[in-house]
Each structure stands twice: as C-alpha cells, then as structure tokens.
Structure 1
C-alpha cells in the first residue's frame, strides 16, 4: 500500500506517510464513522447512496464534515485519478478529532483510503456458513468504526468452522457484522427492519422486481431462518452471497437457491450498467 496514495484532510500522501496523531478520539475512544464502496472499471458504484449514509452517520454522531457533497466528490476523484486502480474498495473515514481531554469531540479528521479489490465470482457457488450470536449493535443506523464484537469472536468462528456471524437479539435476527441478511420462504424474500444498518446493496435488492416474488422488510427469528427455503447476505464486497448453513445446520438443500441466484444476476446487471 505504501506506493498508493491516501487522502487526509485535503492532501494526498503515500500510504506509509499518511498519519493521524494518537490524541484522535478514534484511537482514544474508538469514536468515528466510515463508509465503504467499490469502484468497478473506474466508476464509484452507487456513490450518491453511500454519501447519503455517510452524511447521516456524521449527523447522528455530532461530527461535522467540512466538505459539502461536491467537494467530497472532488476529494474522491482526486484520489481515484492519482492511484489509477480501476477495481477497488474505497473507505471514507471521519474521526472524532484531536481531543484535548480525550473525551470531547474535536475537529474531525477526514481520511479516504483506496485499495485494490476484485469480486470473487467463485464465492457464490461456495456459499456462506453463519454462526449465531446474541448481540445488538449500539446506534444500529450509524456505520461506526466499532467492530469490537466481530473481531473479538474471530477465533470462535475458526473453531466452529464458520465464515461469519449473524447477530440476533434474543432470537430476533438482525444482521451480520458487515452485511444484511435475507431469507426466502414460500416465494417471499424477507429482510429484517428493526435495529439494523440499512445497507446500500440491501436497498438495491428491495428495488428488484422478480415475477412471482415479493421482496419486503419484516422481522423474523432464528427459527424462521433455519427453516427458510433459501437465505443470503448482501454487502458492497459480497454482492449477493448465499447462506447455506446456520449453526451447523443446512438451510434449504444447503446449496444456492433459484431466487438467490436470480437476484444476484439482477444486481450484477445493475452494477455493470451503472
């Protein structure tokens, strides 16, 4: 990464020269927000939707973004042009700033990081194995930098031979640490609506019309999920990824389902035509 540039507060630095002080609230208290999107063939996919969420997260966290949307576009484009990485992940970070007492919000620092990223088309057929965990994120509508639980539980995932977590609140399904969850039952495609982060890819799936299929927001339980016909997650990096196993038990026939496959194809077309 050292030969690629990072944006910090209006300037571009080589990766190993981009720095923040340890007095930043992101370091002192884990206080900050971010958003993540991908570029495909040089295009920042669904960028306006990500900007909407980024500015909303900042408001909810009482963090002021000095750049307006046009200026943020300019900042992003300057980094894209400098790095020239057609297919990449773009992370926009806003920190709590250099706090004098390590507790009060200061002037936020804006950081934009770009790294090469290629979508793994083989991951769809492989599917995903999830492990349930009873946990409710703080400020679920805000994309904060707090991933404490997910990172802390990585050794458990390896031990259980699972790929990722699925959070639930006393049996009511919420989301994965970095993705939204959908289940398919009797021709209905259902995703939770309570206390979750409303993902951008999730919103695109909700907008897709398939003949004979209803896509809707409705809460459901872990029991509902394990008894679903199909299940899948959605995220910026994974697109639509089938969930084939929950807590060691197969979902449906343990293979990617027809509706999941059709939705993935529609989403890929949407991305390619963006």
Structure 2
C-alpha cells in the first residue's frame, strides 16, 4: 500500500495534490525532517519531532497539529505502508496564498505532507568507507533551521557526486563546517572533534546520539572548529546523518585519510550506534 499524509488525510499517493501557490513550492518557505525506521520501529523520533517544531518557531511558522497528535499520524502512516528499514519524510510549509513575499494572513493554514520510503542500511559503504570532496560553503547563515532552502547543499552535493564522491565536506574559508547532508567529524590522537552548535551548522540528531555515546563510553568528544589542513591530516574522518549513520571517510580530494580504511574509533562508534538502535527499537 502506498499511502501518504496530506493535510490531515491518509490517501493513496496517486491522489495526492499540492496547490501551485503553496509557498513551499514558490519560495521554499517551509521545513522538513527525515526520520529513520528500523524493522518497522522509528529511531530518535521524539528528537526529530522536537527539532521540527523548533525550526517552525524560528521561522514563525505554525504547524496545525500538536506534536503528540502529529507523531501518532506518522506512526500510522508507517504502519499502513509496512515499512521495515526505511524513512518517513515530513514537510511543513506556510501554506497556500496568492504569491507575495511577505507572510500571508494568520488564518492561512500551513500545508503538511509526509510519505515513507524503503531505505536499507548502507552496510557496504559503512564497512569500507567512502570518499569526499571539499567544497566552499556558500549557504545562508541560518543553517541551524532545517528549511527547504537547500540550493547551496544541492550544488555542493552535485559537485561531489559528479566527481564520483559520496559527500561534499563544506568549509567557510579555512574552517570546516559540515557535510552537504551530514555532520563532519575528525579523530586526532583518540579525540573526536566536530564544529560547535552555531547558526553555521545543523545540530544533527545522529550527531547528538554520537555525543551521548561518547560521554557514556569514555570517548573524548570536543565541540571545536578545525581547519581544512587539520581535516586532511586527521587520523580518521567520518560523517554522520540519519541515513548514513556513522560513515567513515577514507579519502578527501585524492588525499588518503589515516591508513585509508575505517579507523578504530569510527568502528567502535559504529558498534555503539548499532547497539543504541537495538535498544531503542526492540
């Protein structure tokens, strides 16, 4: 069954329609989340939903459902579609109104859509590692909002993908920020470093899980900016996201990282992350 959620209704995908004057379509005036599903159970759903509502508040955008009600609707959607390993995509826009740059009247309801998708765990890439390309970070200065305005991310990802790489690692000048669709981490002398939570990065849910796992398992974790030179000279590099989990990066712009294979700290985190999934979803 291919059911989607559109403005309060669970309907067949073929019948789903969005108005051409929806502000998400015309302005990218909206927010989204991607929530992981393992063996039919959601992972870190509460954290994703909390961030969705936080993004809405930052954008002065109203979600027409309470968090508990919305969560219940999404769980029903996952159940109806029989998702095993996959994702549920959630999008909220400022709604439908005649095209104008300022916000519509307060009585204009937001548009809400959600759908599910099968998405297997990328086991092979996690075991062997991936390559990345450095790309200048040209995005706007509110990367902490998970908005639909992703053109900077898309251009970076395309530059990486068209050159045969899994991810683009972004930098503002000499400072590494994050990946085009992930957070970026380096390991040096057993210590994990990642960019502090500011407006220049998205505070990833997987990033938060990694920080928690490090704290509970005696792994040194520091929120500290690092340079492109430090990135290329790291013992290990990995990226993290909802769909990539803990993904080793073994080469960047042709420069081999460490020994050119997933390192010990990264592999330990992968193991701890898998354990966390099992605990939360069983």
TM-score normalised by the chain length of structure 1: 0.94
1:221 aligns with 2:221: no
- Secondary structure of residue in 2 paired with 1:16: helix
Cα distance in 1 between the residues matched to 2:103 and 2:33 = 20
1:34-53 alignment runs, 5 A limit: 34-53=32-51
Cα distance in 2 between the residues matched to 1:79 and 1:183 = 37
Residue of structure 2 aligned with 1:199, choices 201, 204, 211: 204
The equivalent residue for 1:148 is: 151
* Number of equivalent positions: 272
Cα distance in 2 between the residues matched to 1:91 and 1:257 = 32
- Secondary structure of residue in 1 paired with 2:32: strand
CA contact (8 A) 2:40 2:85 kept: yes
Q: CA deviation at 1:112?
A: 1.0
Judged with a 3 Å threshold, the aligned counterparts in structure 2 of structure 1 residues 173 and 114 are, in CA distance, closer, same or farther, namely same
CA contact (8 A) 2:28 2:149 kept: yes
Cα distance in 1 between the residues matched to 2:163 and 2:74 = 40
The equivalent residue for 2:272 is: 266
1:182 aligns with 2:185: yes
Cα distance in 2 between the residues matched to 1:157 and 1:151 = 10
Residue of structure 2 aligned with 1:109, choices 108, 111, 119: 111
1:169 aligns with 2:172: yes
- Secondary structure of residue in 1 paired with 2:123: coil
Q: CA deviation at 1:136?
A: 4.3
Q: CA deviation at 1:222?
A: 0.8
Deviates more, 1:129-138 or 1:200-209: 129-138
How much is the aligned-residue C-alpha RMSD, in angstroms? 1.6
Deviates more, 1:78-87 or 1:230-239: 78-87
The equivalent residue for 1:233 is: 239
Deviates more, 1:155-164 or 1:228-237: 155-164
Cα distance in 1 between the residues matched to 2:96 and 2:70 = 21
- Secondary structure of residue in 2 paired with 1:122: helix
CA contact (8 A) 1:28 1:102 kept: no
Structure 1 stretches of 4+ with a deviation exceeding 4 A read none
Judged with a 3 Å threshold, the aligned counterparts in structure 2 of structure 1 residues 35 and 154 are, in CA distance, closer, same or farther, namely closer
Gaps of 5+ in 2: none
The equivalent residue for 2:129 is: 127
Gaps of 5+ in 1: none
Deviates more, 1:158-167 or 1:88-97: 158-167
